[in-house]
């Protein structure tokens, strides 16, 4: 009975594997819509940009606007705030980034107002660096929205934006 085990695959083996493969692809094709339906829908994606008139924001003030259901901070920074943001030795930062890399025009800082820790909204002009302070778990951001202290891992995110005119900015 030496020939009882054969190395040569039989036609049955082939059919078995082929059927299994088709079934697996079919199952994946059915599962994907069930998973993907939870992703943002077309109407949510359609709200992806917003235009803001920033002409009325006085120096030293931060306004909050809503973009994609989230707050976006637009800070009209003072000379002092800009200088503080630029004078930092970035090697000492948890998430090193120069101020210039975070702004298009130094007097305007535009960041998403969501703490990178667990999503609370930080409070403006608070905390020891004069930027933002998150009341939930104590993260401190500087005048460039960079994380300086506390549990948040990253700087406040900078959204995509373009200056349409000197006083009009399009976010998204």
Partner 1 sequence: MHGHSTFEPKNGVVKWLEARLPILSFMHGSFVAYPTPKNLNYWWTFGAILSFMLIAQIVTGVVLTMHYTPESTLAFGSVEKIMRDVNWGWMLRYAHSNGASMFFFAVYIHIFRGIYYGSYKAPREVLWILGVIIFLLMMATGFMGYVLPWGQMSFWGATVITNLFSAIPFVGDEITVWLWGGYSVDNPTLNRFFALHYLLPFIIVAVVGLHVWALHVCGQNNPDGVEIKDIAKDTVPFTPHATMKDSLGIVFFLLLYCWFIFYVPNYLGDADNYIPANPMKTPPHIVPEWYFLPFYAILRSIPDKLMGVIAMFAAIAVLAFLPWLDTSKVRSAKYRPIYKIFFWIFVVCAVGLGYLGAMPPEGGFVLASRILAVAYFAFFLIVLPLLGLFEKTKPVPASIADAVLAKHGSASSVAASAASAPQTKG
Binding site for partner 1 (CB under 8 A): 38-41, 44, 64, 66, 68-71, 114, 116-121, 135-138, 150-153
- Residue 28 or 42: which CB sits closer to partner 1? 42
To 10 degrees, the CA torsion angle through 71, 167, 142, 66? 0
Q: Which residues contact residue 168 at a Cβ distance below 8 angstroms, ignoring those fewer than 6 apart?
A: 51, 52, 53, 54, 55
CB 116 within 8 A of CB 157: yes
- Residue 84 or 150: which CB sits closer to partner 1? 150
The active-site residue out of 76, 117, 125, 137 is 137
- Residue 17 or 123: which CB sits closer to partner 1? 123
Q: How far apart are CA 75 and CA 164, in angstroms?
A: 17
- Residue 38 or 56: which CB sits closer to partner 1? 38
Enter the tokens of residue 100: 């210039």
Report, in Å, the least distance between residue 84 CB and partner 1. Answer: 24
Q: How far apart are CA 21 and CA 123, in angstroms?
A: 55
137: annotated active-site residue: yes
Q: How far apart are CA 113 and CA 158, in angstroms?
A: 9
Report, in Å, the least distance between residue 152 CB and partner 1. Answer: 7
Report, in Å, the least distance between residue 122 CB and partner 1. Answer: 8
Report, in Å, the least distance between residue 73 CB and partner 1. Answer: 11
Q: Which of 66, 97, 147, 143 is nearest to 134 (CA)?
A: 147
Catalytic residue numbers, as ranges = 137
């Amino acid at each position: 009975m030496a020939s009882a085990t054969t190395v040569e695959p039989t036609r049955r083996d082939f059919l078995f594997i082929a059927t299994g493969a088709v079934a697996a692809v079919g199952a994946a094709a059915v599962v994907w819509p069930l998973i993907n339906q939870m992703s943002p829908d077309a109407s949510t994606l359609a709200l992806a940009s917003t235009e803001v008139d920033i002409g009325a924001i006085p120096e030293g003030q931060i306004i909050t606007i809503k973009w994609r259901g989230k707050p976006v901070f637009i800070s009209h920074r003072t000379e002092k705030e800009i200088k503080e943001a630029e004078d930092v030795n970035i090697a000492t930062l948890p998430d090193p980034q120069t101020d210039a890399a975070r702004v298009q025009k130094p007097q305007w800082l535009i960041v998403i107002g969501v703490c990178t820790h667990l999503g609370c909204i930080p409070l403006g002009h608070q905390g020891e660096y004069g930027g933002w302070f998150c009341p939930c778990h104590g993260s401190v951001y500087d005048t460039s929205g960079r994380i300086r202290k506390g549990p948040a891992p990253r700087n406040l995110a900078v959204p995509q934006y373009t200056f349409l005119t000197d006083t009009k900015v399009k976010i998204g």
